[in-house]
A and B are shown apart, each in its own frame.
Chain A
């Protein structure tokens, strides 16, 4: 009898594993047509000036799938820190039920207010990840840093630390993308679209929650598209 139960449990766990599928969501940072590379790669702005990037890090959270406008699946504990300098963080493997029909992927750029008021958290949310503001509690949702001669700053550096969860300066943004597969989804993030919208001579350092952060967070929406 005991043996039978054991086999039954084994069989059941086997079936439940079989019933699980993975959906791999790969994020590819781009600058226009080119793959975005950090540090020593130079890109040209429409003005003719060059630009280079030192870091690109952002949070993706609350990944959900919907079908014909109706919600069909939600990833549990859905928080991911993506870091362009660490290739493996750009490929998210999401457990989904097998046979899931979905025509739309949804996720947030950034973290919700609950996470922002939950104190010290671990793994991707650990404050040692460089995505937490020490002087005023809250996470940086999106971080882009680099250099361009257009920036009349020290070492021509620009820093965009987009974040803020308190009303009226919330910066979390929801992205919805049409998809035609739930096995592999390739999402491109075109940084050129973000940069060309900005006048780098005027706006090159945004590192606090507030109006500017909110404006920048809205620009992030258009960077994401399915390849």
Chain B
């Protein structure tokens, strides 16, 4: 009897542990299947925690001054609020706006032009980009190997204390993959747990009529590249997707961003040119520039009365997810021992 009891307790504990590891990532009801193949990089809380520590550690940059979180703050949907273009080490300024990060397991390409084909290798871009972290992945690995804390964190995560580029990148992607937003007011309305106000409801109808072909529910992006008719910035001369494909038909196309938490992810567009949602609506209702690659969906002008604009914005604000924005599991790691290393590695 006693033996059975022990067995029972053991099975229960094993199940409990399994369950805990299972809730690390959630596919909300009614959402499509994620694009990310979790079988190739199975989530574990130790790996996610390592990824989180790395995400917040400036050790990834050449002079140990900026971290991923420098431009992707958890409190503003992992966007860089009030900064039109991304910032890097030594006061360098990049050429595009740091996008908000969420629900990335559903994405198959990354960056405004889709230059990155897999989330596991995404971090390599800002790490090596001259105007961002200007560092070399090989050197980052050396720095982490010589740190007093990272080998232990790598061992905890991978049962191997050797720091490798593969493990470094996979742990960062694990943390980033768990950045999920699906608890906005909009989501609770869809789950029939609450109701839109009249104004929000009217805004939702306007959204479905005018915006949802690109900003498709439930991700609020169709994950495609579109030319939304922005006037070309003469200082940046950014041709977008064409830089990757060398194909004229991709000129001026950029990846459609999600609208979730848009209240917090300003400024808007690939170059952060618009500060307010009203500016964005002004663009779509009167500023769209005609060109060969202009999105089919924008060839017929969008018409909105001033009341309708107010309603549409009221709806967009229902995409704010407070439980996401202030979720402690995304904030600066509670046990920041690893961070102290940056001081050592600078010496």
| Chain A residues within CB distance 8 Å of chain B | 116-122, 125-130, 132, 134-138, 166, 169, 210
Q: Is B201 an interface residue (CB 8 A)?
A: no
**A125: B residues at CB distance < 8 A:** 166
Q: Across the interface, do A128 and B165 meet the contact criterion of CB distance under 8 Å?
A: yes
Q: Across the interface, do A120 and B173 meet the contact criterion of CB distance under 8 Å?
A: yes
Q: Is B120 an interface residue (CB 8 A)?
A: yes
The number of chain B residues with a CB under 8 A from chain A is 27
Q: Across the interface, do B40 and A119 meet the contact criterion of CB distance under 8 Å?
A: yes
Contacts between the two chains (Cβ within 8 Å), count: 68
| Chain B residues within CB distance 8 Å of chain A | 40-41, 115-121, 124-125, 127-129, 137-138, 141, 164-167, 169-170, 173, 244-246
**A129: B residues at CB distance < 8 A:** 165
Q: Across the interface, do A126 and B166 meet the contact criterion of CB distance under 8 Å?
A: yes
**How far is A183 from B192 in the complex, measured between Cα atoms in Å?**
70
**How far is A119 from B123 in the complex, measured between Cα atoms in Å?**
11
Q: Across the interface, do A135 and B40 meet the contact criterion of CB distance under 8 Å?
A: no
Q: Across the interface, do A117 and B124 meet the contact criterion of CB distance under 8 Å?
A: no
B165 partner, pick from A120, A136, A137, A169, beta carbons under 8 A: A120
Q: Across the interface, do A127 and B169 meet the contact criterion of CB distance under 8 Å?
A: yes
Known: A126-B164, A126-B165, A128-B165. A210 touches B246 (CB 8 A): yes
Q: Across the interface, do A121 and B116 meet the contact criterion of CB distance under 8 Å?
A: no
**How far is A129 from B165 in the complex, measured between Cα atoms in Å?**
9
Q: Across the interface, do B115 and A137 meet the contact criterion of CB distance under 8 Å?
A: yes
Q: Across the interface, do A169 and B246 meet the contact criterion of CB distance under 8 Å?
A: yes
**A127: B residues at CB distance < 8 A:** 121, 124, 137, 165-166, 169
Q: Across the interface, do B125 and A132 meet the contact criterion of CB distance under 8 Å?
A: no
Which residue of chain B has the shortest Cβ distance to A127 in the bound complex? Answer: B165
Can you pick out 30 interface pairs between chain A and chain B where the beta carbons lie within 8 Å of each other? Answer: A117-B117, A118-B118, A119-B40, A119-B41, A119-B121, A119-B173, A120-B120, A120-B121, A120-B166, A122-B164, A122-B166, A125-B166, A126-B166, A127-B124, A127-B166, A127-B169, A128-B138, A129-B165, A134-B121, A134-B124, A134-B125, A135-B115, A135-B128, A136-B115, A136-B244, A137-B115, A137-B121, A138-B117, A169-B246, A210-B246
**B164: A residues at CB distance < 8 A:** 122, 126, 128
A162: shortest Cβ distance to chain B, in Å? 16
Q: Across the interface, do A116 and B141 meet the contact criterion of CB distance under 8 Å?
A: no
B138 partner, pick from A118, A130, A136, beta carbons under 8 A: A130
Q: Across the interface, do A132 and B121 meet the contact criterion of CB distance under 8 Å?
A: yes
A128 partner, pick from B117, B141, B173, beta carbons under 8 A: B141
Known: A128-B141, A134-B128. A119 touches B246 (CB 8 A): no
Q: Across the interface, do B119 and A166 meet the contact criterion of CB distance under 8 Å?
A: no
**How far is A132 from B169 in the complex, measured between Cα atoms in Å?**
13
A157: shortest Cβ distance to chain B, in Å? 18
6 nearest A-B residue pairs (beta carbon):
A119-B120, A128-B165, A120-B169, A120-B120, A119-B118, A134-B124
**How far is A130 from B136 in the complex, measured between Cα atoms in Å?**
9
**A132: B residues at CB distance < 8 A:** 121, 124
**B169: A residues at CB distance < 8 A:** 119-120, 127
**B120: A residues at CB distance < 8 A:** 119-120
**How far is A135 from B120 in the complex, measured between Cα atoms in Å?**
13
Query: Which of B40, B115, B165 has the most chain A CB within a 10 Å cutoff?
Result: B165
Which residue of chain A has the shortest Cβ distance to B115 in the bound complex? Answer: A136
**How far is A138 from B109 in the complex, measured between Cα atoms in Å?**
13
Which residue of chain B has the shortest Cβ distance to A208 in the bound complex? Answer: B246
**How far is A138 from B114 in the complex, measured between Cα atoms in Å?**
12
**B170: A residues at CB distance < 8 A:** 119-120
B143: shortest Cβ distance to chain A, in Å? 12
**A118: B residues at CB distance < 8 A:** 40, 118
Known: A119-B41, A120-B120, A122-B164. A135 touches B125 (CB 8 A): yes
**A119: B residues at CB distance < 8 A:** 40-41, 118-121, 169-170, 173
Q: A127-B166, A128-B165, A136-B244 are in contact. List 16 more A-B contacts (CB 8 A).
A: A118-B118, A119-B40, A119-B119, A119-B120, A119-B169, A119-B170, A119-B173, A120-B118, A120-B120, A120-B121, A122-B164, A122-B166, A127-B169, A130-B138, A136-B115, A138-B117
**How far is A132 from B165 in the complex, measured between Cα atoms in Å?**
11
A81: shortest Cβ distance to chain B, in Å? 13
A137 partner, pick from B116, B137, B245, beta carbons under 8 A: B116
Q: Across the interface, do B245 and A166 meet the contact criterion of CB distance under 8 Å?
A: yes
**A120: B residues at CB distance < 8 A:** 118, 120-121, 165-166, 169-170, 173
**A138: B residues at CB distance < 8 A:** 117
**How far is A68 from B136 in the complex, measured between Cα atoms in Å?**
47
B139: shortest Cβ distance to chain A, in Å? 9
